[in-house]
Structure 1
């Protein structure tokens, strides 16, 4: 017999959390949606550049709504989800790296950007791996913050469940979701208990930077999928947790 895996997920409170819940349902899990990210637009748009790098669907949708156009710039997307949003905005995508990460973007661009102006348009929590890597490759790098990521008021139900040993799995999609989860736990007075509760759950993270953040806060990580997509992360995390409930 199999008991549903109770899995907490922390995606933003928009279609992404809905898609996450739908996926977890399809995997036979019992989803606990607890959005840990909310988007606060800055109103800024990307500056001109020889290359314009977009790192999220959210950023694309915001600047498209504000009427921004890429002009003659080489347009780069961090992954296929971002690229689809660009195409839906009517833009031609010139490059999507094989690895959907900041490091993957650097590897895809480093041979071509010496002396080029590279505009990086993203949230206020973007990784220095991207900007430093492009600068090291000889690019003139400019960054525009399109939106800020904040913790929504009222978040933290999952932290209390973790503290009570009531979660089988947690799915962290960024370093910021880890930090906001722990902040929410602290606000509710259960940070130590929540971290202890995660020791008894399967903890899945989207990539190595998120693993490093989690482990720096005392959270042991069990799953880091080779393919840095939410579908792979959710699937592998639920599959890792599921055998505990088989008889």
Structure 2
């Protein structure tokens, strides 16, 4: 069984491929994101929010010093990277998502300044939610996410009926996958073929984006991590034929 994975072409893709191989499926690595740093650094604020491993690495490279700020990580992977680089982590939400982080901070940020440091494609759910909670929110773009020119191998496989599952790890991977299909002239074929492909989304925002584009989603793990997404999707593949997958 062939399972497409769209993580950036770094250790995250290597780890995803290794995990899928351990689950007895054939990974189809098809990076849909490439990182272009902006060389910006998070501003000082009462609370600083980091939303990715990449953001932490770039902030550290540019000499970020949080001082006495309350440091927030959107999930354990981001928190682990912060600790690896010697930063203290004060808040990690129970739900690793923008919604989860808003819920964790809502009662603490009224009248406070909050710096959100992330990519240029961050969800408005986080910034709007914090602003609605009374925070003075500023966003710094640490890096831009672009679609690699070579992306789209998995779309061609899907169009040929030769893909069993696709694991989307952000809203942008959904959009870039469909754009790559369009560039290769197979978007219509891919949209039809996805009815027979098990589709996984790492969390609610990615699920919402897929559905907005007409893509049925079969698997959304309770915890927004690639490991959980892959494990649950592959379990579904082993347990039932693709054409019996339920919405």
Write the distance in 2 (CA, Å) between the matches of 1:96 and 1:209: 19
Task: Name the counterpart of 1:9.
Answer: 5
Q: Residue 159 in 1 paired to residue 166 in 2?
A: no
Write the distance in 1 (CA, Å) between the matches of 2:135 and 2:240: 50
Write the distance in 1 (CA, Å) between the matches of 2:165 and 2:131: 38
Q: Residue 237 in 1 paired to residue 228 in 2?
A: no
Task: Spell out, residue by residue over 1:127-161, the C-alpha distance to the aligned partner (whole angstroms, 9 max, x if none).
Answer: 11110111111110000000000001111000000
Q: List structure 1 segments (4+ residues) > 3 angstroms apart after TM superposition.
A: none
Among residues 36, 41, 56, which one is paired with 2:37 in the alignment? 41
Task: Name the counterpart of 2:113.
Answer: 117
In the alignment of these two chains, the number of paired residues is 241
Task: Name the counterpart of 2:56.
Answer: 60
Alpha-carbon contact 2:40-2:62 (below 8 Å) kept: no
Alpha-carbon contact 1:201-1:241 (below 8 Å) kept: no
Equivalent residue runs for 1:37-186 within 5 Å: 37-186=33-182
Task: Name the counterpart of 1:215.
Answer: 211
Unaligned runs of 5+ in 1: none
Write the distance in 2 (CA, Å) between the matches of 1:132 and 1:119: 13
Write the distance in 1 (CA, Å) between the matches of 2:222 and 2:90: 25
Deviation of residue 243 (structure 1)? 2.7
Equivalent residue runs for 1:173-212 within 5 Å: 173-212=169-208
Write the distance in 2 (CA, Å) between the matches of 1:14 and 1:61: 13
Alpha-carbon contact 2:41-2:63 (below 8 Å) kept: no
Unaligned runs of 5+ in 2: 242-247
Write the distance in 2 (CA, Å) between the matches of 1:243 and 1:189: 33
Write the distance in 2 (CA, Å) between the matches of 1:196 and 1:52: 43
Task: Name the counterpart of 2:245.
Answer: none
Deviation of residue 228 (structure 1)? 1.1
SS in 2 for 1:159: helix
RMSD: 0.9
Q: TM-score, normalised by structure 2?
A: 0.96
Deviation of residue 244 (structure 1)? 4.1
Q: TM-score, normalised by structure 1?
A: 0.96
